Amino acid sequence: MDRLWAPWRMEYLTQPKQSACFLCAKGNDRDLLVLRRTGLTRVLLNRYPYSNGHLLVAPQRHTAGLDDLTEAEMLELFRGAALCREVLTRASAPDGFNIGINLGKAAGAGLEEHLHLHVVPRWNGDNNFMSVVADLRVLPEALLATYDRLLPFFEAAGEEK
């Protein structure tokens, strides 16, 4: 039997389950994986990504529904998605993107209480038997290495952080 070691997952398995919203958390941006902040939104790495560079764009305000967003928040949310696509294109040269919002548990929302948009870079051939056979994703780059690689691109975008 072959084994695939992923010791970094132990932190997730042993940490106490959080009752607070991780999108509203305050603290060190690198620890929180926050790459960019504006007055209305934040961009952060997904801690449990589908692929390297999987980003989340969320309103700063804790809100669950699209109907709850102000026009300014909605505009900034999609401007953030466009910036993420631009940054990931320059930093990682993906062949395409999945961009979307999961509303409700049935739609795959892991955090139903705080609306967020996913920007997932995709490469031709990035799906393989591991996802199908083992329900497993193979990510070639550590999360903080991805953070450190993407941060200069967000800083160069001239937006406030």
pTM: 0.80
Give yes or no for residue 66 having a pLDDT over 60.
yes
**Between the CA of residue 14 and those of 7, 9, 17, 63, what are the distances in Å?**
12, 9, 9, 29
116 is catalytic: yes
Residue 93 — pLDDT band, cuts 50, 70, 90? Answer: very high
Residue spans of the domains in the chain: they are 27-156
pLDDT digits (tens, 9 = 90+) for 137-161: 667 788 899 999 999 999 998 754 4
Write out the two tokens for 83.
């910036």
Write out the two tokens for 113.
């209480």
Taking domain 27-156, whether its CATH number is 3.30.428.10 is answered by yes
Residue 82 DSSP SS3: helix
pLDDT > 70 in the chain, percent: 80
Of residues 62, 114, 116, 118, which has the active-site annotation? 116
